[in-house]
Amino acid sequence: MFATEISKSIAIADTVKKTAENNSDPSWIMHHVLDGNSINFEPFGTLYLPHLQLFGIDISITKHVFFIWVVALLLILISISAARKYKNTLVPKGIANFLEIIIVFVRDEIVKPAIGKGFESYLPYMLTLFFFILLSNLFGLVPYAATITGNIAVTASLAIISFIVTQYSGMKTYGVLKYFKNLVPSGMPVLIIPVMALIELIGLFTKPFALCVRLFANMVAGHIVIFSLLGLIFIMHTYVVAPVSVGFALFIELLELLVALIQAYVFTMLTALFIGMAKHMEH
Amino acid sequence: MIFGLYLSVLALASEGGGSLIDVNPGVVFWTFVTFIVLLLILKKFAWKPILTALDQRETAIKESLEKAEIAKQEAQKVLDQNQVNLAKAEEESKNIINQSRVYADKLKDQIVQEGKEQAKKIIDEAAAEIDRKKEAAFNELKSQIAEIAVNAAEKILRDNLDKEAQKKIVNKYIGEITKN
């Protein structure tokens, strides 16, 4: 809860500054959830990130890209240090034990029942997905850090990867032609087939779209609620509302912890389900 | 509720500088690159060893459980066998004891019988011996008495005594006999 307190005090300090600058500008909220080319380490200063171009596309290292790398690096460090504990013994202690609970949960409760036979080859992807989203979500609650899953480009990328894996698994199981033929349930009247085909085709794309928007909206919403609650203090120009605001913000912050876990679970679970559906198309 | 909030965020965003639903291609690019690199690294260095270790452990546990089950069954078998053997041994020992008791009784009877016979034989022999000795003693006594009587008669004749003296002498010798 120490981290929560710090992030709140930073948020308040920042809010004071912003409101002092421009009394009616609501963009200070957006400043916290939007991407940018600098990382704010108030009061220690600001880190400006380099601009990059590749084939005419702007691939600048933005704040969110920076934190994607931080999360990835952290994940690599944690999981490799956990994996090394298995070298000497089959029953490790410490961090490996904690990671093992999640790994076994993802394997036995998400991937195994959703995908069924041959689930082993999808495990590395599923585990990476789960841990990446979980760590990203939790990282959003850390002071100074940004919520990278609150960037729609990030969640869209994850959803596209999930889409590609899903289609690939379906095509690998049935072959490309049979896979698309299977999209329409057999035994349909001839007239309905074009309509069904269209609906199923759209359905293919709505699934990852829903994945993308769900994760993004959930992560952004919590943060905006927290900042809005704290903003009440400055909008109302009174300290009386502060305890209420801080109390509610703390409550939302705790809720965010839960949401971070649930969203990681939901994203992984749905991806596993889609893969399972693509692999077993017999309606 | 979240959807409503989302809409208000969009409204806020349009007022501010950037938009929340602006998809920055650079971020997409980096997310792809990072995620795929992350996946490859973790797959090789983290998930593979961990999952292999988990599988190994699960197999090890399964095998030990199965082994334990087999060992338990075997132990039960051995226990049953032991119980059967024990019962058999008990039966046998009972038989042996009974047999030996019968044998001992027989032996006892035989020994007692033999003893009795032996005793009877010894008694008989002793009785016979006694009879023989008694007869021999009687014979000797008879011969001694005859000798004494002859001696006495010889003395009487030699001394030539009167009736009175003869009587005395005879009485005296008879007294000697009884004394002897």
**Nearest CA among A125, A132, A159 for reference residue A148:** A132
Out of B26, B39, B51, closest to residue A62 by CB: B26
* Minimum CA–CA partner of B3 in chain A: A217
Task: Sketch the domain layout of chain A as residue ranges.
Answer: 2-33+70-279
What sign has the CA pseudo-torsion A117, A162, A266, A174? Answer: negative
Query: Is residue B11 over pLDDT 80?
Result: no
Query: Across the interface, do A26 and B12 touch by the CB < 8 Å criterion?
Result: yes
**Confidence at residue B13, expressed as pLDDT on a 0 to 100 scale:** 45
Query: Is residue B4 over pLDDT 60?
Result: no
Average pLDDT along chain B: 84
The answer to whether the beta carbons of residues B68 and A190 sit under 8 Å apart is no
**Confidence at residue A21, expressed as pLDDT on a 0 to 100 scale:** 54
**Confidence at residue A6, expressed as pLDDT on a 0 to 100 scale:** 55
Distance CA B178, CA B180 (A): 5
Which chain B residues are Cβ-neighbours of A168 within 8 angstroms?
none
**Nearest CA among A75, A136, A155, A61 for reference residue B38:** A75
How far is B11 from chain A, CA to nearest CA, in Å?
Answer: 11
Query: Is residue B101 over pLDDT 50?
Result: yes
Q: From the candidates B7, B8, B15, B24, which should be mutated to test the interface with A, based on the most A CB atoms within 10 A?
A: B24
**Nearest CA among A153, A161, A212 for reference residue A34:** A153
DSSP string spanning A47-83? EEPPP-EETTEE----HHHHHHHHHHHHHHHHHHHHH
Distance CA A5, CA A176 (A): 54
Give tens-digit pLDDT for B129-177.
Answer: 999 999 999 999 988 888 888 888 888 777 666 677 778 878 888 888 7
Distance CA B92, CA B85 (A): 10
Query: Across the interface, do A35 and B24 touch by the CB < 8 Å criterion?
Result: yes
Query: Across the interface, do B20 and A152 touch by the CB < 8 Å criterion?
Result: yes
pLDDT band per the 50, 70, 90 thresholds, residue B14: very low
Chain B, 53 to 92: residues with Cβ < 8 Å from chain A are 53-54, 56-57, 60
**Regarding beta strands A46-48 and A57-58, do their DSSP bridges make them parallel or antiparallel, or are they unpaired?**
unpaired
Q: Would you write out chain A's pLDDT as a tens digit for each of its 283 residues? A: 445 555 555 555 565 555 555 555 556 666 666 777 677 666 666 777 777 667 767 667 778 888 888 889 998 998 888 888 877 777 777 788 888 888 888 888 888 888 888 888 888 899 999 999 999 988 888 877 788 888 888 888 999 999 999 888 888 888 877 777 777 777 777 787 788 888 888 888 898 899 888 888 888 888 888 888 888 887 777 778 888 888 888 888 888 899 899 999 999 999 998 888 888 776 5
Query: Is residue B1 over pLDDT 50?
Result: no
Query: Is residue B123 over pLDDT 90?
Result: yes
A42: left (phi over 0), alpha (psi -120 to 50) or beta: beta
pLDDT band per the 50, 70, 90 thresholds, residue B27: confident
ipTM: 0.78
pLDDT band per the 50, 70, 90 thresholds, residue B106: very high
